[in-house]
Copies of this chain bind each other. A is one copy, B any other.
Amino acid sequence: MIPNVAESNTEKAYALLKADAEKILKLIKVQMDNLTMPQCPLYEEVLDTQMFGLSREIDFAVRLNLVSEEEGKQLIDSLERQLNLLHEAAQRT
């Protein structure tokens, strides 16, 4: 029973971080669709702040051994790749 609880905590930590990364992606997508352009300083600021918040969460989870450094790095890398795709798509339209 207890090992399952411990295991589910690391799974939950990863799932929460992934969900937070997806929330950022969604927020940026909504911003792009409706409000501002990627060149807008406000957009940059929102993105920087959100990425900083996520990086603090990930760093915290890594320090607690809930996710590995590699997993944390992959979460950030994957989010950045998806944001780049969004940027490129926005510039094409």
Contact = CB atoms under 8 A, between A and B. Distances in A.
Contacts of A25: none
A90 to B, nearest CB: 26
Interface string A1-41: 01101100100110011001000000000000000000000
Given A56-B56, A56-B57, A64 B2 contact: no
Number of copies: 2
A8 to B, nearest CB: 10
A50 to B, nearest CB: 9
Interface of A: 2-3, 5-6, 9, 12-13, 16-17, 20, 49, 52-54, 56-57, 60-61, 63-64, 66
